[in-house]
Amino acid sequence: MTPGARISAAITVIDAVREGAPAERALTNWARGARYAGSKDRAAVRDHVFAVLRRWRSCAARGGGDGARALLIGLLREQSIDPDTLFTGEGHAPTVLSDAERAAGRAPDDAEARDLPDWLWPRFEAALDDGAAQAAEMLRHRAPVTLRVNARRMSRSAAQAALAREGIVTRPLDEAKMALHVLEGERKISMSSLYRTGAVELQDASSQAAMEALDLRPGARVLDYCAGGGGKTLALAAWLDGEWFAHDASARRMSDLPARAARAGAEVRLCETQDLQGLAPFDAVLCDVPCSGSGTWRRGPQAKWNLTPDGLADLGRMQQDILMRAADLVAPGGRLVYCTCSIFTEENERVIDRFLCGSDDWFCATSRRWPISETGDGFFSIQLIRESRSELHS
């Protein structure tokens, strides 16, 4: 495919996204109908699409509209590429720009320049203060690709050397003990021997650091209450001997966990909701709750545009409900760990404040935020301890 043909393909995918299709599905559907497209072509089209999704408002301003064609024109202008060089009408390239398209476009301003909905920018400022502008700018760019080395399989340095032999260049990160930042060869990861044997997993550095920060004793019985794919359970099991339990309101989200756990050398028991009370109490219950994902929007940028004020409020109520349900499963003296990949106060500190106001037998042990950075996503984690019965009656 020529560079112009790749732009045409991106326009087709963006049109599908504008009609409501998830970006991944729209890309898959395009690829199925474009057998002529090689791996580099598909990667280039994907990059164009996700660049537009991350920068929708600024691209619309620079391109003079929010149609797919205008958005790609705006993206090229932001990248200091003259759209006339690619909109040539030759072969499969987009048709030549009209005089109106050449004349349209302006520099974006305020929340538009930060590629956020107007209503969200004040919430960024409220949550992050002086760090708000930097966080918004980070969300306009590609996310880092980070691996977690399985300490039960090998050392970080040994993994780094083995990956290099397969063309995957990495560097160690200070944020987490077993984290490797992928610099080259990211598309080779899924087929690498280390990935297929469970020696490395894809996991953000902030998430890794949050799991390392948990104060758990050897042999602890730990429930991952909102497990999803189980990445955090596997991260914990890689450095601590314990009993591991995983639960999710939608059991299908855990469908890959048994195979992943087997590769990683971990034993994880999958639990149905009705079984939890019989298995309780647990020494620790981890609640990585569903959230806006605002700390990860460079990975899933459509969520940035789909979130509404009512939707954010609904998330807060759901998070509160999950926290209350999970708290009943924690043993006296045990830990309730609440996590989100959100930067918003409404999903973090305010949820915890409401919980503590109605619960006299809990206190905060540690609380920390990880910022959106060049090496990690935005992440929030707090560890609450349930006072033992003897402490309650002393």
DSSP state of 345: G
Q: Are residues 158 and 250 both part of a single domain?
A: no
Question: Could you tell me the CATH number of the domain that includes residue 237?
Answer: 3.40.50.150
Using the structure block, give the residue that is written with the tokens 């409404």. Answer: 346
Q: Which of 79, 108, 137 is the last residue of a domain?
A: 108
| Domain assignment present for 64 | yes
CB 112: neighbour CB atoms within 10 A?
18
| Domain assignment present for 133 | no
Q: Are residues 171 and 294 both part of a single domain?
A: no
Rounding to the nearest 10 degrees, give the CA dihedral for residues 232, 257, 143, 207: 0
Q: Are residues 236 and 151 both part of a single domain?
A: no
Taking the C-alpha atoms of residue 1 and residue 38, their distance in angstroms, rounded to an integer, is: 8
Q: Are residues 319 and 173 both part of a single domain?
A: no
Type of residue found at 327: A
Q: What are phi and psi for residue 347, nearest 5 degrees?
A: -100, -5
Domain of 178, in residue numbers: 146-202
The whole-number pLDDT of residue 394 equals 42
The whole-number pLDDT of residue 292 equals 97
Q: Are residues 179 and 310 both part of a single domain?
A: no
The whole-number pLDDT of residue 393 equals 41
CB 314: neighbour CB atoms within 10 A?
11
Q: For the chain, how many structural domains are there in total?
A: 3
CB 101: neighbour CB atoms within 10 A?
19
The whole-number pLDDT of residue 392 equals 43
Segments of the chain scoring below 50 in pLDDT: 390-394
Taking the C-alpha atoms of residue 3 and residue 40, their distance in angstroms, rounded to an integer, is: 11
Q: Are residues 220 and 164 both part of a single domain?
A: no
Question: Could you tell me the CATH number of the domain that includes residue 194?
Answer: 3.30.70.1170
Q: Residues 215, 228, 368, 141: is their CA dihedral positive or negative?
A: positive
From the list 387, 318, 382, the residue with the least C-alpha distance to 353 is 382
Q: Are residues 294 and 188 both part of a single domain?
A: no
E strand or H helix at 185, and its extent?
none
Q: Are residues 198 and 214 both part of a single domain?
A: no
| Domain assignment present for 386 | yes
Q: Residues 313, 316, 318, 324: is their CA dihedral positive or negative?
A: negative
Residues in CB range of 270: below 8 A, 6 or more apart: 245, 246, 247, 251, 254, 257, 258
Q: Are residues 341 and 233 both part of a single domain?
A: yes
| Sequence-separated contacts (24+) of 67-73 with Cβ below 8 Å | 67/18, 68/10, 68/11, 68/12, 68/14, 68/15, 68/18, 69/11, 69/94, 69/101, 70/101, 70/104, 71/14, 72/7, 72/10, 72/11, 72/14, 72/48, 73/97, 73/101, 73/105
Using the structure block, give the residue that is written with the tokens 């984290």. Answer: 179
The whole-number pLDDT of residue 389 equals 55
| Domain assignment present for 129 | no
Q: How far are the Cα atoms of 58, 92, 301 from residue 109, in angstroms, in the given order?
A: 8, 34, 20
pLDDT digit string (tens) for 22-46? 999 999 999 999 888 898 999 999 9
SS3 202: strand
| Domain assignment present for 364 | yes
| Domain assignment present for 330 | yes
pLDDT digit string (tens) for 134-187? 999 999 999 999 999 999 999 999 999 999 999 999 999 999 999 999 999 999
CB 361, CB 392: distance < 8 Å:
yes
| Domain assignment present for 134 | no
DSSP state of 241: -
| Domain assignment present for 135 | no
